Amino acid sequence: MSTATIEKKAVRRAVYHVRPCDGADGMKWELHKFRTTQHEHFHSQKDAVAAAHLECGDRPSHIVMHALDGHTYREYDVN
């Protein structure tokens, strides 16, 4: 494997989507880790974003926030 390929893999960011959903018990926001089956549900968007930051830890990550209509309205890098 070439050095460029190894470096590219080393900087690959985890991507988290915070999006509205129809969850049970009033859970209206979902945190989804892109390219996985990991989903968590929250009562508020603020709680879902806070959980995304905790999930990121010290790893380089990217958070994508979706509006109630599903469109992306904010994206930012963490770390």
Dump pLDDT digits (tens) for 31-68.
999 999 989 999 999 999 999 999 999 999 999 999 98
Nearest residue to 31 via CA among 11, 56, 60, 9: 56
**Which one-letter DSSP state was computed for residue 2?**
-
Whole-number average pLDDT of the chain: 87
Q: What is the pLDDT of residue 76?
A: 94
Cβ atoms within 10 Å, residue 16: 23
> In whole angstroms, how far apart are CA 38 and each of 8, 41, 55, 56?
24, 10, 11, 14
CA distance 19 to 55: 16
Whole-structure pTM value: 0.79
- DSSP, collapsed to helix, strand or coil, labels residue 63 as strand
